[in-house]
């Protein structure tokens, strides 16, 4: 998949960067000879390590200008969808108190435990780089007394999240998510279905292949304990992996999420949660499925889908791209989370989409998609100081008409600037020389044919607009 390619590509870039960094190390070593010796070897190795600062931390990467169009597209389509369904944008801090995630996501989960980036500030606060967006949004809902507003409140967000997991294709340590949350009101299955359909349609619009919805119910406080008991009894005699032994003690449902080969046969024979659901949970799931059917959304009931965060109850789901094993969207209902954070009982549901994975797929499935959308480019060429000055105010005129413009202000010669315009793939160059300044005119050059025409300076914006339409 392209995520792999990207990683390789980026791995390649990293290699180059590493080499540069090494070159730097070598010369650094040379010049270090002149520096006073550090007190210990420890100091020296720290210096060497730091010299690798030209490479970002493991699992993190630059989002380069060339990566921007598909990412913008993901955000644009998601935002349009969210606003249509009356969701409002919310932005919470990148750092939160560790306790929020310990309580909300769960200390024993991967996301709220071993994968979390934590730090102690100089003032002694224990903070975490947010690993996910739901707990912070619920925190904000509680803090700002949003339960007093009409319920439910609907939110969307886009931003970076941090997880210290093993980097691999489609798995980064700084990842980007678009999230949707519906908080407050009733624990109504219609909201579960709405979140699923919204992300489903976003993925359809982004053309990443037919999305496949996997859905399950993990019950509630009434029925889950009974199922948990059945699961523990079933697994008691089984020779499960080390992680599952721990899971059985701390969070037994998570054994169903085990990817270890050794545990797969047990998983297949394990009792199904669907047989243990109480009537309220059973009817909730049934209604979600009926709504999905009404919306014409195909789904697959997967009784082993449990999700890796503690706050879920009832509906959980993941959306996969056709034929791929990494989920693009994941979420569910979290009716107990507000209470876990010290608030009053507040039914809620939500999901998050992994933007990096979606973008990787978009680039793989439709590489030409973004090239064809590049707008016509205009390059402004100046010759002489007077023309340079006038170019500045001309750019302001174009800005008012929202027509983007490129320049090479640092270069003086006509041929160098035209060469830049060519390199940039510009369609049109506007040439302002001394003669034109005196005559109050400007030249419009078609960069493909080389045909030029001179127009009055006062009409240039209009003329360019006409040409952009043609």
Instruction: Quote the least distance from Cβ 105 to ligand ATP, whole Å.
Output: 9
Instruction: Quote the least distance from Cβ 182 to ligand ATP, whole Å.
Output: 16
**DSSP readout, 279-340?**
HHHHHHHHHHHHHHHHTT--EEE-TT---S-TT-EEEEEEEEETT-SS-SEEEEE-TTHHHH
165 lies in the site for ligand ATP, by CB under 6 A: yes
Residue 178 bridge partners (DSSP): 158, 353
175 lies in the site for ligand ATP, by CB under 6 A: yes
Instruction: Quote the least distance from Cβ 161 to ligand ATP, whole Å.
Output: 8
For the chain, the straight-line distance linking the first and the last C-alpha, in angstroms and rounded, comes to 39
The CA angle 354-360-365, to the nearest 5 degrees, is 125
Instruction: Quote the least distance from Cβ 76 to ligand ATP, whole Å.
Output: 19
- Binders of ligand ATP in range 181-200 (CB under 6 A): none
Which residue, 247 or 357, is less far from ligand ATP as judged by CB?
357
Closest CA to 384 of 353, 411, 351, 420: 411
- Binders of ligand ATP in range 441-460 (CB under 6 A): none
Which residue, 105 or 231, is less far from ligand ATP as judged by CB?
105
Among 253, 354, 359, 444, binds ligand ATP (CB under 6 A): 354
Instruction: Quote the least distance from Cβ 179 to ligand ATP, whole Å.
Output: 8
Residues 162 and 129 sit within 8 Å (Cβ to Cβ): yes
Which residue, 106 or 433, is less far from ligand ATP as judged by CB?
106
Q: Running DSSP on this structure, what letter comes out for residue 446?
A: E
Given the DSSP bridges, would you call strands 118-120 and 88-89 parallel, antiparallel or unpaired? unpaired
Instruction: Indicate the residue whose CB is closest to ligand ATP.
Output: 354
171 lies in the site for ligand ATP, by CB under 6 A: yes
Among all chains, which residue has been given the structure tokens 């960094």? Answer: 21
SS3 label, residue 187: coil
Can you read off the two tokens belonging to residue 205?
């619009």
163 lies in the site for ligand ATP, by CB under 6 A: yes
Q: CA 78, CA 339: separation in Å to the nearest integer?
A: 29
Task: For CA atoms 330, 332, 337, 338, give the dihedral sign.
Answer: positive
- Binders of ligand ATP in range 130-149 (CB under 6 A): 132
Which residue, 140 or 328, is less far from ligand ATP as judged by CB?
328
Which residue, 361 or 437, is less far from ligand ATP as judged by CB?
361
SS3 label, residue 134: helix
Which residue, 111 or 292, is less far from ligand ATP as judged by CB?
111
Residues 174 and 160 sit within 8 Å (Cβ to Cβ): yes
Q: CA 382, CA 455: separation in Å to the nearest integer?
A: 16
352 lies in the site for ligand ATP, by CB under 6 A: yes
Among 288, 327, 362, 442, binds ligand ATP (CB under 6 A): 327
**Binding range to ligand ATP, per CB under 6 A, among 49-57, 223-231, 235-243, 326-334:** 326-334
Which residue, 107 or 165, is less far from ligand ATP as judged by CB?
165
**Binding range to ligand ATP, per CB under 6 A, among 214-222, 243-251, 328-336, 461-469:** 328-336
Q: Running DSSP on this structure, what letter comes out for residue 171?
A: B
Q: At how many degrees (to 10) do helices 68-84 and 189-205 cross? A: 150
Task: For CA atoms 155, 158, 160, 162, give the dihedral sign.
Answer: positive
308 lies in the site for ligand ATP, by CB under 6 A: yes
Instruction: Quote the least distance from Cβ 59 to ligand ATP, whole Å.
Output: 8
Can you read off the two tokens belonging to residue 453?
């025409």
Site track 65-104 with ligand ATP (rule: CB under 6 A), x = hit: ----------------------------------------
Among 157, 172, 291, 379, binds ligand ATP (CB under 6 A): 172
Which residue, 235 or 334, is less far from ligand ATP as judged by CB?
334
Instruction: Quote the least distance from Cβ 451 to ligand ATP, whole Å.
Output: 49
Q: CA 262, CA 28: separation in Å to the nearest integer?
A: 50
Q: CA 89, CA 157: separation in Å to the nearest integer?
A: 6
Instruction: Tell me the site size for ligand ATP, rule CB under 6 A.
Output: 19
- Preceding amide of 152 cis, omega within 30: yes
Distances 414 to 229, 314, 435, 447 between C-alpha atoms, Å: 80, 68, 14, 14
Instruction: Quote the least distance from Cβ 169 to ligand ATP, whole Å.
Output: 10
Which residue, 312 or 336, is less far from ligand ATP as judged by CB?
312
Residues 134 and 334 sit within 8 Å (Cβ to Cβ): yes
Please count the CA atoms within 13 angstroms of the CA of 428 that sit on its side-chain side: 22
What residue ranges bind ligand ATP (CB under 6 A)? 111, 132, 163, 165, 170-172, 175, 177, 308, 326-330, 352, 354, 356-357
């Amino acid at each position: 998949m392209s995520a792999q390619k990207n990683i390789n590509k980026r791995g390649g870039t990293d290699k180059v960067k590493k080499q540069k960094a090494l070159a730097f190390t070598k010369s650094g070593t040379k010049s270090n000879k002149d520096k006073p010796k550090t007190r210990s070897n420890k100091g020296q190795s720290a210096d060497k390590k730091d010299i690798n600062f030209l490479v970002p931390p493991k699992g993190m990467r630059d989002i380069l200008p060339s990566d921007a169009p598909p990412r913008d597209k993901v955000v644009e389509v998601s935002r349009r969808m969210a606003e249509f369904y009356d969701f409002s944008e919310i932005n919470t801090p990148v750092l939160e108190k560790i306790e929020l995630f310990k309580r909300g996501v769960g200390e024993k989960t991967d996301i709220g435990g071993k994968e979390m980036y934590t730090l102690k500030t100089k003032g002694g606060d224990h903070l975490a780089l947010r690993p996910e967006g739901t707990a912070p949004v619920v925190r904000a809902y509680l803090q700002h007394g949003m339960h007093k507003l009409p319920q439910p409140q609907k939110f969307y967000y886009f931003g970076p999240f941090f997880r210290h997991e093993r980097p691999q294709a489609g798995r980064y340590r700084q990842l980007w998510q678009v999230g949707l949350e519906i908080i407050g009101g009733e624990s109504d299955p219609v909201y579960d279905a709405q979140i699923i359909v919204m992300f489903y349609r976003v993925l359809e619009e982004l053309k990443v292949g037919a999305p496949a919805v996997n859905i399950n119910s993990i019950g509630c406080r009434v029925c889950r304990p009974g199922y948990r008991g059945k699961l523990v009894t079933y697994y008691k005699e089984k020779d499960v992996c080390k992680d599952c032994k721990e899971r059985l003690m701390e969070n037994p449902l998570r054994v169903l999420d085990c990817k270890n080969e050794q545990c797969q046969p047990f998983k297949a024979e394990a009792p199904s949660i669907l047989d243990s659901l109480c009537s309220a949970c059973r009817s909730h799931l049934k209604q979600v499925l009926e709504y999905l059917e009404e919306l014409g959304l195909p789904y697959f009931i997967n009784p082993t889908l449990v999700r890796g965060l503690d706050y879920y109850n009832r509906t959980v789901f993941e959306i996969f791209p056709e034929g791929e094993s990494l989920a693009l969207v994941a979420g569910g209902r979290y009716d107990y989370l507000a209470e876990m954070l010290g608030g009053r009982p507040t039914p809620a549901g939500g999901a998050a989409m992994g933007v990096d994975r979606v973008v990787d797929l978009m680039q793989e499935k439709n590489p030409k998609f973004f090239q064809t959308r590049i707008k016509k480019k205009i390059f402004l060429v100046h010759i002489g100081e007077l023309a340079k000055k006038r170019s500045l105010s001309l750019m302001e005129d174009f800005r008012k008409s929202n027509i983007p413009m490129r320049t090479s202000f640092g270069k003086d010669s006509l041929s160098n600037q035209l060469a830049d315009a060519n390199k940039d793939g510009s369609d049109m160059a506007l040439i302002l020389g001394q003669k034109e300044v005196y005559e109050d005119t400007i030249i419009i050059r078609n960069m493909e044919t080389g045909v030029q025409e001179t127009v009055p300076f006062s009409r240039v914006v209009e003329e360019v607009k006409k040409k952009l339409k043609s």
